[in-house]
Amino acid sequence: MTILNKIIKLFHSVKDENLKWHLANQGDQAKLNHARVLAEKALEAELKKKSVQLEHDISLLKTKHDAELSMFKTKCRQDVKDYKQYLAALDQLKSSIQASYPHLPEAVAFTIHHHAKYLLNEMWEEEDFEQKMQHEMQLIRFMTTVHEDARLHLEGATIESLPERTLNLIGRE
Amino acid sequence: MFLLVEVLLWLAVPGLPGVLTALATAMLLGGFVALIIAGLWGVGKIIVRAALNYFSAKQRIQRRLWFALAKQDQAKRLFYFKTRQLKYFNELSRKRLLKLNNRKHIRVLSKAIDKELLSIKTKLPGTTYQQLQQDHARYRNRQDIEALLTLQQKISTLV
């Protein structure tokens, strides 16, 4: 019986200690709980704010993307139109050289035109701006030379049967 | 307890083993039932806690934030792919224009080659003429500019 009493006593003393500890730390525990609730609320508010901000950002982003896409679409359309005009200009170039040199073989006229088209494509497909400018200069130089040859022959300044300066330029490039 | 029953049986004590066996069986079953109940209780508690946590305000807001982030990411990707698509179709239109232009000029060149070939027909052996004509048709169908120009040069040298 004494052992059982001792065990019961021990049990009670442990409970007493526990109660005392709870009483002593009640304030701290309440504070801790309060702080935890506050932190959770603050986190919730922060997340909510972030979420609302993000929704706003997304709507702005969508508007920006729509505007950029519309601009890009216009640019693409313009690009194709420009390319078409360039091709027409090169066709014109061929007609002009053929008009100036009536006995110019079709193969030579074709080669000149084909080379001009090659330069145009080089320019068009280049991504680097500086390189693109260089290709553009090359194309302009070539077109100027062809027109110059045609003009000189029409004015009778040369007696050559072929546009030699143009052909030399093709050979060099 | 079952061990005690075994000992009592071995000692041949009458009556007690039967009572002890019933008691031990009841205790064992009781233990199992208690264990199962405790397990179910624990699982239930976990489920309820998980459900409460899932529907808590913090988790709901967090999910909404993730959803918005995913939406933002999706919008960015959509823009990128739309731009790529536009670029692709733009390039396709340009290539189509170029192809049409090439075809037009190849047709003119081809006519010139035909004419030239016809003009020297009488000066060439039949097989050579036929071979040149076949080459010409093949290169024209293939839209092979380089080969057509080479053929033209070859015809010029033949004259």
ipTM over 0.85: no
Q: Which residues 57-86 in chain B show a CB within 8 A of chain A?
A: 57-58, 61-62, 64-65, 68-69, 71-72, 75-76, 78-79, 82-83, 86
CB contact under 8 Å between A84 and B97, yes or no, is yes
Closest-CA distance of chain B to residue A34, Å: 17
User: Which tens digit of pLDDT belongs to each residue from A122-154?
Assistant: 999 999 999 999 999 999 999 999 998 888 888
Closest-CA distance of chain B to residue A68, Å: 9
Q: What is the pLDDT along chain A (173 residues), one digit of tens a residue?
A: 688 899 999 999 999 999 999 999 999 999 999 999 999 999 999 999 999 999 999 999 999 999 999 999 999 999 999 999 999 999 999 998 998 888 888 889 999 999 999 999 999 999 999 999 999 999 999 999 999 888 888 887 777 778 888 888 888 76
Q: In chain B, which residues have their Cβ closer than 8 Å to the Cβ of A48?
A: 61
Q: Name the residue among A156, A173, A159 with its Cα closest to residue A111.
A: A173
Alpha-carbon torsion A128, A129, A132, A137, what sign? negative
**Residue B12: Cβ within 10 Å count:** 7
Nearest residue in chain A measured CA to CA from B102: A114
DSSP state of B136: H
Question: pTM higher than 0.80, yes or no?
Answer: no
Mean of per-residue pLDDT scores for chain B: 91
pLDDT of residue B15: 77
Mean of per-residue pLDDT scores for chain A: 91
Please, what is the Cα angle at B78 between B72 and B84, to 5 degrees?
145
pLDDT of residue A1: 64
Whether the pLDDT of residue B47 is over 90: the answer is yes
Give me the half-sphere count of Cα atoms (radius 13 Å) on the Cβ side of residue A71. Answer: 7
User: Which tens digit of pLDDT belongs to each residue from B125-159?
Assistant: 888 889 999 999 999 999 999 899 999 888 888 76
Between B58 and B34, residue with greater pLDDT: B34
Contact A90, A120 (CB under 8 A): yes
pLDDT of residue B45: 97
User: Which tens digit of pLDDT belongs to each residue from B20-43?
Assistant: 888 989 999 999 999 999 999 999
Write the secondary structure of B1-18 as one string of H (helix), E (strand) and C (coil).
CHHHHHHHHHCCCCCHHH
Which residues of A touch chain B, with CB atoms under 8 Å apart? Answer: 40, 43-44, 47-48, 50-51, 54-55, 57-58, 61-62, 65, 68-69, 72-73, 76, 79-80, 83-84, 87, 91, 94, 105-107, 110-111, 113-114, 117, 121, 124
Write the secondary structure of chain A as one string of H (helix), E (strand) and C (coil).
CHHHHHHHHHHHHHHHHHHHHHHHCHHHHHHHHHHHHHHHHHHHHHHHHHHHHHHHHHHHHHHHHHHHHHHHHHHHHHHHHHHHHHHHHHHHHHHHHHHHCCCCCHHHHHHHHHHHHHHHHHHHHCCCHHHHHHHHHHHHHHHHHHHHHHHHHHHCCCCCCCCHHHHHHHHHC
Q: In chain A, which residues have their Cβ closer than 8 Å to the Cβ of B150?
A: none
pLDDT of residue A126: 92
CB contact under 8 Å between A107 and B82, yes or no, is no
Give backbone dihedrals phi and psi of A9, rounded to 5 degrees, phi first.
Answer: -60, -45
CB contact under 8 Å between B145 and A80, yes or no, is no
Cα(A16)–Cα(B93) distance, integer angstroms: 89
